[in-house]
């Protein structure tokens, strides 16, 4: 979030066609839950388009980009790397350390895989973190991790440059032009 | 979770083929993050198989079932209904009430849609809840909702009847037979 060390999400292992929706959901979840940027590895241009379209309509700042070299992104990251994996340490045990390192000024790169993630990612990570040690969903793991990293503050963030805004309400679906408050 | 009022997840609007992975991720997220049961509307038999297979290997109790009549499930639910939608009230504003009603003994049915959800679902819900009022992912919304509903206790649950167990560790991927501790 703005005025704080950056949080970026690196999505590994995108397979065009098969992973389109999951990768899009990773990007949209990163945006909605307080990350500053999503970096999508491989041929994920459709997912980039969708996330950019949502950012145009519902606001930012949020950046989304492609990379052909996720290993280089990992290697050159100037901050800490958190790899979300069901094999990692329990999120409830390490989230405090991760928050502290960010409070000390370290940007965080949160890495989420698709299917198999190669072992060098485990080695490159400062923390391998399991949101449960159960198989479920990289989107769910990312969401819980971000909500805990930001301790819920991400739910209060303001959106800039939006053309549309949803009015939260008990029963209804109300979207208004963003300047009509 | 066991010994508490039931939490079930109803997945609406499954389209075979197109939604297979998202529906599977909804089911696996429900299981991993403390729900007792997933009810999948429509022809989601492949997702049921995957969730059952994971439950056989990694433990339960967790139930997954199909329904042809999601409206009937909603109508006949003996407890409270929470519909997760970007148009709803802010989760941070209503999660306390929802937790209290469960503490008073009410089972909770958490409803997640796919694309368009018809307006009668909004009307049938006791709460329409937005995990942000931004478009992102039903899997992410469900994950954050469950983590907040259970206040993180779901991360400590024990699994019964598992054949395999993951050992959380700093760097590695270790799965052991469940009885080898």
pLDDT average, residue stretch B92-102:
98
Residue that has been written with the tokens 């941070």 in this structure = B92
Residue from B53, B56, B57, B155 whose CB has the most chain A CBs within 10 Å, to mutate: B155
pLDDT-based confidence at A76, cuts 50/70/90?
A: very high
Q: Which of B16-20, B43-47, B59-63, B123-127 has the lowest mean pLDDT?
A: B16-20
Contact B135 A32 (CB under 8 A): yes
pLDDT average, residue stretch A113-140:
95
Q: How far apart are CA B60 and CA B168, in angstroms?
A: 19
Q: How far apart are CA A70 and CA A7, in angstroms?
A: 16
Q: What is the pLDDT of residue A133?
A: 97
Of A31, A133, A165, the CB nearest to B168: A133
Chain A, nearest residue to B94 by Cα: A170
Q: Is the pLDDT of residue B180 over 60?
A: no
A118 touches chain B (CB under 8 A): no
pLDDT-based confidence at A2, cuts 50/70/90?
A: confident
Q: Is the pLDDT of residue B54 over 60?
A: yes
Locate B158 and state its tokens: 């024990």
A141 touches chain B (CB under 8 A): yes
B76 touches chain A (CB under 8 A): no
Main-chain dihedrals φ then ψ at residue A111, nearest 5 degrees: -105, 125
pLDDT-based confidence at B179, cuts 50/70/90?
A: confident
Chain B, nearest residue to A53 by Cα: B135
Kindly provide the b/e burial profile for residues B14-46, where b requires at least 16 CB atoms within 10 angstroms of the residue's own CB: beeeebebbbbbbbbbbbbbbbbbbbbbbebee
- For the complex shown, is ipTM > 0.95? yes
Q: List the domains of chain A with CATH numbers.
A: 7-177 (3.40.1280.10)
Q: How far apart are CA A59 and CA A160, in angstroms?
A: 5
Q: What is the pLDDT of residue A122?
A: 96
Chain B, nearest residue to A152 by Cα: B92
pLDDT average, residue stretch B39-47:
96
Read off the pLDDT of residues A79-96 as tens digits, 9 standing for 90 and up.
Answer: 999 999 999 999 999 999
B69 touches chain A (CB under 8 A): no
Residue from B134, B160, B172 whose CB has the most chain A CBs within 10 Å, to mutate: B134
pLDDT average, residue stretch A15-24:
92
Q: Is the pLDDT of residue A128 over 70?
A: yes
Q: What is the pLDDT of residue A115?
A: 76
A152 touches chain B (CB under 8 A): yes
Q: Is the pLDDT of residue B2 over 90?
A: no
Q: Are A164 and A124 in contact (CB under 8 A)?
A: no
Q: What is the pLDDT of residue A3?
A: 86
Q: Which residues contact A95 (CB under 8 A, 6 or more apart)?
A: A129, A145, A148, A149
Q: What is the pLDDT of residue A180?
A: 53
Q: Mean pLDDT of all residues in chain A? A: 95
Q: Is the pLDDT of residue A69 over 80?
A: yes
DSSP-assigned letters across all residues of A76-87? H-SSEEEEEEEE
A174 touches chain B (CB under 8 A): yes
Contact A28 B137 (CB under 8 A): yes
pLDDT average, residue stretch B39-54:
97
**Is the pTM here over 0.90, yes or no?**
yes
Q: Is the pLDDT of residue A34 over 80?
A: yes
Q: Is the pLDDT of residue B113 over 60?
A: yes
């Amino acid at each position: 979030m703005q005025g704080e060390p950056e949080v970026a999400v690196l999505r590994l292992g995108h397979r065009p066609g098969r992973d389109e929706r999951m990768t899009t959901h990773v990007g949209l979840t990163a945006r909605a839950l307080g990350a500053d940027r999503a970096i999508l590895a491989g041929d994920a241009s459709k997912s980039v388009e969708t996330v950019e379209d949502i950012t145009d309509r519902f606001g930012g700042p949020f950046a989304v980009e492609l990379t052909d070299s996720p290993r280089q992104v990992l290697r050159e990251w100037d901050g800490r790397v958190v790899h979300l994996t069901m094999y990692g340490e329990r999120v409830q045990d390490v989230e405090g350390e991760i928050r502290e390192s960010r409070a000390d000024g370290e940007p965080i790169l949160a890495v989420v895989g698709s299917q198999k993630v190669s072992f060098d990612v485990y080695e490159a990570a400062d923390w391998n973190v399991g949101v449960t040690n159960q198989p479920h969903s990289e989107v769910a793991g990312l969401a819980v991790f971000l909500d805990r990293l930001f301790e819920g503050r991400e739910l209060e963030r303001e959106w800039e440059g939006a053309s549309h805004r949803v009015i939260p309400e008990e029963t209804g679906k109300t979207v208004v032009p963003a300047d009509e408050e």
